[in-house]
Chains A and B, each alone.
Chain A
Amino acid sequence: MAAVTGRRAIGTREPRREDRRLLTGRGRFVGDIRLPGMLEAVFVRSSLAHARIASIEYDFALGIDGVETVLVAEDLGELSLFSQRHPNLLLTPQHPLAQEKVRFVGEAVAMVVAANRYVAEDALEQISVEYDELPAIGPETEPEGEDQVPVFDSIPDNVVFRDAETYGDPDHAFARAAHVVTHRLDFARQVACPMEPRGCVADFDPATQHLTVYASTQAPHRLRSDLATTLALSEAQINVVMVDIGGAFGQKIPTHLEDVAVAKAAMLLGRPVRWIEDRQENLTAAPHSRGQSLDLELALDEDHRFIGLRAAIRGDSGAYSFNSASCLTEAYRAARALPGLYDISDFAYDVEISLTNRSPMAPYRGVGFVAAQVARELLIDRAAEQAGVDRFELRRFNMVPSSKLPYRSCTGWQYNEGTFTEAFESSLQALAAGADDGPAPGFRRGVGISPFVEPSAAGNEGGLQVHGFVSPSHDSARVALNPSGKASVTFGTPSVGQGLETSMAQVAADALGLPIGDVSVSWGDTTTAPMSLTGTRASRSATITGGAVWRAGVQVRQQVIEVAANLLEADPADIVIDAGNVAIAGEAQPRMTVAELVRAGFFDDRLRQPGQERTFEATRLYDPPAAYSNACVVAVVDVEEATGAVIVRRIIGAEDCGTMINPMIVDGQFIGGAAQGIGGALFERVHYAPHTEQPATATLMDYLVPTATDMVRVELHHLQSVVEHTEQGIKGMGESGAIGTAAAVACAVADALGAPASKGVDQVPLLPHVVWGLLHESTDEARDEAT
């Protein structure tokens, strides 16, 4: 194969080609889809957290002009979605519309399908659901309490998942420890809160028995498979069309029960049906995330080396384990992520995930890793304080050194390369280089640091390492040259706003030797796009889709070279394709353009050699080995003593994701993640009222997401390891900012509070009243001690 010439597109700050349409209102989102005869669906949702359904009266709603039907569970039949991803996970079947019982506020009970949204919403008012209320179960509810009725009768103690693992001999490590440090962290429930809530349009053609679904989904092929399974159709009868997506952040990975209900309604009615979630539904009925408590114990020897770690993690599953077993994604992933980039060989965890009468869980950017990172870094700060050593030095001392790479963590994560120490030092140098004007009067300043690794090539091997069980995950891409010499690239991983359209064009351009302007990119639909097994998630698209695009592009380039060799009567090894031109090595001028050559290849049969199949097209699959990016985030915050408000002053990031396809997109990913990290650490909390489990954060007035005024300019520094084992050395980093920033901010707040108040930093988010309480509690304690 001819050598690929130097990179021209990869590594450049190519402007995002999707921005023109997205920023000028020309994006085509699922809410923009209009089909002839389309109906609108809205859901009647449970107003109680836990109740048996006594009756549903909907007949008056049918009398409203424009209402087509009202569907209840029995109309849809058995459409349960559940996949058994781990043998310890117990079954919690969930139906698109609740059968017999509701298990969280917001659970869909009935669906109105009407001519338009206005009529449908009016019809909701005419539907009456009678419930026999049951005591609601929250994370703090005693499972054996009197009058308690379990969320599922088949799971009397509500514990839906248990797992305990021991690596090495942590008991021995703790027995010989010079210091043992403990810390507990309660990480609140949060919600991904994408700008565009969930939604879909389903269109069933009774004549052809074909279902077309326009969906705001991160995993179109998976949605297609789930719909085929639940609706008793073949995948060939279903086409999931990918449209622009206004943010997803993990919430749109699973197949939502509403999608199934809408598709079924379209089949029953023989007309297109659209459902667009509103914000209140998204905050209360869409899956949440985080929501766990972590009790950690760290053993240090006399030299302050980490010799043992124990963790007890209690997760809140919500009312169902959900169809992707997504209750595992938080607490279980957190457990396996805890050692991180520290050299710890003796580790034990036990995880228990319980059902509650709250919305189920789904992934959210940095799922599992964010909570683990915050808990571990706060623990290390406490260890430094308890052992009387510098907290930066303690981290530096215990980090996996470059000299130990490749390194396999005790939980099986394989770090082949990385710049753990370099990123750490780089961020500290940036901190020192910045002007330190000190806090204003009445404020306390704090600095927090958070070094970490991020699984970033969630293929089969990566999934196995992260989850501990087989999690198949690969992508395919198709690259085709048209007779005009332009390239079309198609893959099944949707662009959710992260610039995939641009970065994949860059990869394809270099693989083909074309100018980037000659490459068009489409993530198409499931009929035309090659299979993406699990879609856009887990920082995987750049690595896995990028690898598939690269391989397909190189294969097509090879076809071009073979035709060029025939035409130019040259050795294929001497053919050079670069910037859309075909040249022979050593010659000053190119012989022809790729467009001329491809045209000749398509239309001149004399150029075809026996056995050559000149399609100028290739589809390739990529399933990379596991890969881990690394980064370090430093946060500087000021805490206002009078109010407990936290103001973020600086966020410094030093990250290494190997080859950066587009540094501008890497910057954007990190900055966006940092915003979510700040929100997670300081503002965002899904609150449920005690005992009733009624959601109290049902609007964006109550659920606080960070705004522009809460952000600072993120100071970002890039390191680039040479990565041998992924295609083009690419590693993902889409979750990096979120994983590192929340921990850095939490540690900075603890630092600002100082001892003994810092010990009280045991919950996230650190809302002003929490910080104020810690400040004044410590002041009172100090006063008591003085007197």
Chain B
Amino acid sequence: MAPTVAFHFERDVAASASDVAACLLDPTLLARCVPGASLTAADGNSVTGRIRIKQAAVPSVYRVQAELDRAEDSPGDQLEETVIAAGGVAEEQRTGRSFEFRIRVGLTPTGPGRSRFRIIAELPAGDDTQALLDRLSPQFIRRLEDVALERPEFVAAEGRLAAAQEPAQSAPETPARERWVKAGVAGAVSGVTAAAVLLAWSALRRWRSRAFPS
């Protein structure tokens, strides 16, 4: 493992801390905000994805496994600071080299619909890592603002019922993790129902083929 160095980035965000936190804890929405990222799988807090980062003409592709977690929390918009932690392993696809990373994000409300975003990222030391973060971070923040403000539409576009049913004008009150749990339960219920129907249909066919041989 390469030695890591902490990189800092701080920026005002034109979205409330709770909206931003909801985005960051929602793997699908988070993947939309990270330049070059695409989501492969999400299971609760565990996320698997791919991130393509261009530091030369040909980009490097990293397979990423990470855990997202809300480390500290205060309820609703009254929170002093929300801290979200993420950590995991990234493996460069071509070379197979991997490194661990840890990221902590602090969100502080600074006014109605505004917050302060701070990030401390422990990444492998490299000459161009800071330049890379300088390039990617503003893009990340802008997209985060867009996604956070238009989160219901984004979520609806994904076809997730729980989010689609939320009022379009206000940010959802439910923490992203909770919504994911609800969505997971709903999905599981749907899956069990579908499996039961399939089994019943299959049994009916077997019974018919035995009762009425052609």
Binding site for A on B (CB under 8 A): 31, 34-38, 50-54, 56-59, 135-136, 139, 143
Contacts and interface: CB of A to CB of B under 8 A. Distances in A.
Contacts of B135: 59
13 contacts: A57-B35, A59-B135, A59-B136, A60-B143, A62-B35, A62-B52, A63-B34, A63-B35, A65-B38, A69-B57, A69-B58, A75-B57, A269-B58
A63 B36 contact: yes
B135 to A, nearest CB: 7
B57 A62 contact: no
Contacts of A60: 35-36, 139, 143
Contacts of B139: 57, 59-60
B57 to A, nearest CB: 4
Contact of A268 (B51, B53, B58): B58
B88 to A, nearest CB: 17
Interface residues of A, number: 17
Interface in A253-295: 268-269
A interface majority secondary structure: mixed
Contact of A63 (B52, B57, B58): B52
Q: Which residue of B36, B57, B143 has the most chain A CB atoms within 10 A of its CB atom?
A: B57
Nearest to A269: B58
Contacts of B53: 59, 62
A226 B47 CA distance: 49
A58 B35 CA distance: 8
Nearest to B138: A57
Given A59-B35, A62-B53, A63-B38, 20 more contacts: A59-B54, A59-B135, A59-B136, A59-B139, A60-B36, A62-B36, A62-B54, A62-B59, A63-B35, A63-B36, A63-B37, A63-B50, A63-B52, A65-B38, A67-B52, A68-B58, A69-B57, A76-B57, A268-B58, A269-B58
B2 to A, nearest CB: 22
Contacts of A65: 38
Contacts of B58: 68-69, 268-269
A731 to B, nearest CB: 49
A62 B143 CA distance: 15
A64 B57 contact: no
A269 B54 CA distance: 13
A177 interface: no
A268 B54 CA distance: 13
A192 interface: no
B38 A69 contact: no
Contacts of A76: 57
Contacts of A58: 54
A58 B54 CA distance: 9
Contacts of A75: 56-57
Contact of A64 (B34, B38, B143): B38
Contacts of A68: 58-59
A58 B59 CA distance: 12
Interface string A49-78: 000000001111011110111110001100
Interface string A524-567: 00000000000000000000000000000000000000000000
Contacts of B50: 63
Contacts of B52: 62-63, 67
Q: Which residue of A60, A65, A269 has the most chain B CB atoms within 10 A of its CB atom?
A: A60
A268 B58 CA distance: 7
Contact of B36 (A59, A71, A268, A269): A59
Contacts of B54: 58-59, 62, 69-70
A65 B143 CA distance: 19
Nearest to B39: A63
Nearest to A76: B57
Contacts of A269: 58
B145 to A, nearest CB: 14
